[in-house]
Structure 1
Amino acid sequence: MNRQSNSKWAAVVLSMAMLTAAACTQGDSKTAEQPKTDGKGQPADAPKAAASGKPQLPLVTKPTELSFFVQLDSKVSATKKSYAELSIFPYLEKETGIKINFVHPPSGMEKEQFNLMVASGELPDMISNNWIQYPGGPAKAVGDGVIIKLNDLVDKYAPNFKKFLNDNPDIKKDVLMDDGTIYAIPLVRKERVQRYTSGLQIRQDWLDKVGMKVPDTMDDWYAVLKAFKEKDPGGTGKVIPFGNSNDLAVRNFMAAWGMAYGFYIVDGKVKYGPNEPDYKPFLTTIKKWYDEGLIDPDFASTDSKQFDAKITGNRIGAYSALLNGGMGRYLDLMKNDPNFKLAGVAPPLTKDGKRYNFQSAVLTGYDGSGVGISSKSKKTEEAIKWLDLGYTEWGHNIFNFGIEGESYNWMNGYPKYTDAVLKHPSLSPTNALSQYTIADLYGRFFNQDERKAEQLLIYPAQKEAGPNWAKGTPERQYPMGVTPTLDEGRKLASIMNEVNTYVDQMFLKFIMGNEPLTKFDDYAAKLKQMKVDEAVSIQQAAYDRYLKR
């Protein structure tokens, strides 16, 4: 199917989805009026900040519906058609008086559907997205009329979120723009232990068979992958020393040169990895691995199902994946194979003996994800009240643990998951929990609870992986909370849309040999022609302002 036909089909799907969303937003809209106060400057009907127990419910005086655009997580899509089928949402509707009508884009078309939705101007009440990654940043998302500034709404109707920000100034610094604009209700991970959620993983049993240790340096990695290739410890005859479901995993090895595949910081100066001199030796190394069959020849086109089949088929020796959705799931799928063992591998050492971790949210606990309220919503008051639930104790527990007595129970003051989650007959604990609540799904807008992670990491290898990944310092990570101004965002989007496309294309061409590395200087010159240096300067100015917040 060509791109034009694909777009037309996507537009049809979008129109159908938005008709549903539009139907959900009619009938209960309120005109903008000054709220009644309690004599102390607070809205009389605003929910009181809940230090414990339930907030003031219901949130509305009559049944209300809100539409919510959010990607349907694969942990849910295998068994359900919508988040509406998770047990917490009928419960929340009953308690709050607000029904959530989910608009889920078709799997694999999330970005295209989001762009089409924005272009159409037909927006639901609430939109889940990584707003830092919006072309031009959150200021441009507000300037484009996709989402609205939330400060007044938060002041009037979201006392719990406001209190959380005031109690956590380090997080507040990251989730606001330079001018103090609140653009979304965010997902945050306050405790650092929760931030190490993905990284390099390796077959420990394969290492044992070839008599080698977990690799530390790039030379170690080369030796291990060569041994996997030559000795075939999986015994399939079709060994893939390093594999992944997309080309991003290979880029993790840029950390061995102290670089990221994007913007990063060195001694206060902003850098763009694919524009740095050390990018060429990185490409040279990965191309050598690719030419020698140490990397899956289909690494750029393997989808998640194909990747899963290669893992469970004992073909892949090392890869990069999530802690739960990757390592935990594979250990669960292979639990009947006593030989299957995995280990989390620390980021590779640089030549001067340092380790750098560039995984998002490791530095600040905020990765840019959150739920914004659209400029087309006529129910902004109801939407912000509903989102504020995530920062009440009651809502925090629901979104992290589910419904008491169903997916968890209190045991000596600890929210203990039930056997329905921890001992599900066919699902991993993470996937089982995803039948009840959104604790590990797209669309989160609350502080993720460390007690969730403590219970879902059921395998020793998972518990050891996080500390291994934490050996890499996040000091060079570009803070996710940095936000360009509207004008800067427009320039940045114009430049980086072209740059990113070119860099991605050339990465594949260099690795696969479609373009010789002798043309690297031409590639670098092309980036300068595309004004990548101006993009770096914009990011530098935004970073400098961020430091002064």
Structure 2
Amino acid sequence: MYQGRKWIVVLTACLLVFMSACSGGADNNNSNNNNNSTADPTTNPAESSAPPTEPETFDPFGKYPETVEFTTVKATVNNPQFPEGQSYEDNDFNRFMQEQLNVKPVFQWTQPQDGFAYKQKLDLAIAGNDIPDVFQIMGSSVQDVQATLKRLVDADMVEDLTTVFEQYASPAMKENYASENNRTLDLFKIDGKIYGIPDQQGLENFNFVWIREDWRKQLGLPEPKTMDDVIAIAKAFKEKDPYGGGKTVPIAMQMESETNGLFGPGFVFDQYEAFPRMFYKDASGELKYGGIEPQTKEALKVLSQLYKDGLLERDFAMKDTGQLQEVLASGRAGIVGQAWWAVWYPLFMTLQNVPDADWKPYVITGENGKINFGATAPTRSMVVVKKGSNIPSFRSNG
């Protein structure tokens, strides 16, 4: 029983750190239940035996009598916006978690999420068998996360959380996974067991075309409705150079393994009903692989022309997300393809240095006259627990 509790403490805490905040509850963690005395054989058992007790209950959101510390690591973002005096290690969220549960994360290291620095350092930590109690696996695709998880399971480095999840995951969490028919959980099961708790994102992820609206108005350009309109605006940004000094980047883009990644070319592929790296059924119900369909070739022709016309940076194919964020933060970018949440991240970076900048999203109709978008990966991260983690408050019970 205590072993199960040991892991749910860590699991609950890590979910608070990496996924969502949860409210606290009453302290139901009773530890003084062991009776090692030997009964007198001459005593009538009916007189000496204590009445049977109710099975011990456990509240995963209850507060522990002693602070439970667990080691972890953190993927950071560029230019984090903390209230004054706060940091990843010391902030209102971590303090709330300690007040409600009496659990506390201890960071071994942090690394930027962008540019794969976090993943690379985690790979080295796994290779050196130097992983923390709780940590997040991240990757550019589902396959990346699956490969890292399998590596850990094969090496017997992480805990089987199947029973813990079944007993202690909240109804809201289970309902969230069930809303997608548990496909996210099933993607990462190994031999039918749950070894990690994946984040779950919406499967739909429409790519808006975000345009520097202040530049568009300054140059007297019409609002875009088609891909040709977007290209015309990009050409005007190149010719008129609203940033100045010949440094305007008409379209900020990079080529990642996923077209819908940050600054990816997904908004171009969408216009031609092209969905690279995706299996899907066409109108006749036949299974297709988007990477080899004719419409993908049409989208690549457009990207090639954008490059030839100088609307993309010459080294765009070699840039990572961190480098594109620098372009965005400098105020040089004119057009980017991003999802709805881009207004929070990363477009705010422009406003930090150019307060008068104005980004506006546009929905662009595809060549078929419809608004096209494909499903995205349900997750690219998950939380796991180190096998045999030495949680101080449970050393005597483990």
TM-score range, shorter chain: 0.5 to 0.7
Look up the match of 2:347.
327
* Mapping for residues 413-424 of structure 1, pairs under 5 Å: none
**Deviation per residue, 1:366-397 (Å, 9 max, x gap):** 42433122334355998xxxxxxxxxxxxxxx
Q: Distance in 1 between matches of 2:103 and 2:361?
A: 43
Look up the match of 1:148.
159
Look up the match of 1:408.
none
Q: Distance in 2 between matches of 1:274 and 1:381?
A: 52
**Deviation per residue, 1:432-456 (Å, 9 max, x gap):** xxxxxxxxxxxxxxxxxxxxxxxxx
Structure 2 unaligned regions, length at least 5: 1-33, 35-51
Instruction: Tell me if the contact between 2:270 and 2:373 (Cα under 8 Å) persists in the aligned partners.
Output: yes
Instruction: Tell me if the contact between 2:62 and 2:101 (Cα under 8 Å) persists in the aligned partners.
Output: no
Look up the match of 1:257.
272
Look up the match of 2:298.
281
Q: Distance in 2 between matches of 1:331 and 1:183?
A: 41
**Deviation per residue, 1:338-393 (Å, 9 max, x gap):** xx3221122x43322232234746xxxx42433122334355998xxxxxxxxxxx
Look up the match of 1:436.
none
Secondary structure (helix, strand or coil) at the match of 1:154 reads helix
Instruction: Tell me if the contact between 1:165 and 1:171 (Cα under 8 Å) persists in the aligned partners.
Output: no
Q: Distance in 1 between matches of 2:320 and 2:238?
A: 22
Residue type of the alignment partner of 1:355: I
Which protein has the bigger helix share? Answer: 1
Q: Distance in 1 between matches of 2:274 and 2:207?
A: 18
Q: Distance in 1 between matches of 2:392 and 2:301?
A: 52
**Deviation per residue, 1:482-530 (Å, 9 max, x gap):** xxxxxxxxxxxxxxxxxxxxxxxxxxxxxxxxxxxxxxxxxxxxxxxxx
For residue 317 of structure 2, the aligned residue among 293, 297, 300 is 300
Instruction: Tell me if the contact between 1:123 and 1:374 (Cα under 8 Å) persists in the aligned partners.
Output: yes
Residue type of the alignment partner of 2:67: P
Secondary structure (helix, strand or coil) at the match of 1:70 reads strand
Look up the match of 1:216.
225
Q: Alpha-carbon deviation of 1:307?
A: 4.3
Larger radius of gyration: 2
Q: Alpha-carbon deviation of 1:270?
A: 5.4
Residue type of the alignment partner of 1:175: T
TM-score, scaled relative to structure 2? 0.66
Instruction: Tell me if the contact between 2:272 and 2:299 (Cα under 8 Å) persists in the aligned partners.
Output: yes
Secondary structure (helix, strand or coil) at the match of 1:257 reads coil
For residue 241 of structure 2, the aligned residue among 232, 236, 239 is 232
Instruction: Tell me if the contact between 2:206 and 2:374 (Cα under 8 Å) persists in the aligned partners.
Output: no
Q: Distance in 2 between matches of 1:83 and 1:148?
A: 26
Look up the match of 1:92.
97
Residue type of the alignment partner of 2:150: K
Look up the match of 2:178.
169
Residue type of the alignment partner of 1:120: G
What RMSD in Å do the two structures reach over aligned CA positions?
Answer: 4.0
Structure 1 unaligned regions, length at least 5: 1-34, 49-54, 383-549
Q: Distance in 1 between matches of 2:390 and 2:53?
A: 27
* Mapping for residues 403-418 of structure 1, pairs under 5 Å: none
TM-score, scaled relative to structure 1? 0.50
* Mapping for residues 467-546 of structure 1, pairs under 5 Å: none
Q: Distance in 2 between matches of 1:254 and 1:57?
A: 50
Secondary structure (helix, strand or coil) at the match of 1:85 reads coil
Instruction: Tell me if the contact between 1:124 and 1:376 (Cα under 8 Å) persists in the aligned partners.
Output: no
Look up the match of 1:57.
63
Secondary structure (helix, strand or coil) at the match of 2:350 reads helix
2:137 pairs with 1:129? yes
Residue type of the alignment partner of 1:125: D
2:212 pairs with 1:203? yes
Look up the match of 1:487.
none
1:154–1:44 distance in 2 versus 1, CA, 3 Å: farther
Instruction: Tell me if the contact between 1:201 and 1:345 (Cα under 8 Å) persists in the aligned partners.
Output: yes
Residue type of the alignment partner of 1:164: M
Q: Distance in 2 between matches of 1:97 and 1:312?
A: 39
Q: Distance in 2 between matches of 1:148 and 1:232?
A: 55
Instruction: Tell me if the contact between 1:245 and 1:300 (Cα under 8 Å) persists in the aligned partners.
Output: yes
Q: Distance in 1 between matches of 2:108 and 2:244?
A: 45
1:87–1:297 distance in 2 versus 1, CA, 3 Å: same
Q: Alpha-carbon deviation of 1:159?
A: 4.7
2:71 pairs with 1:67? yes
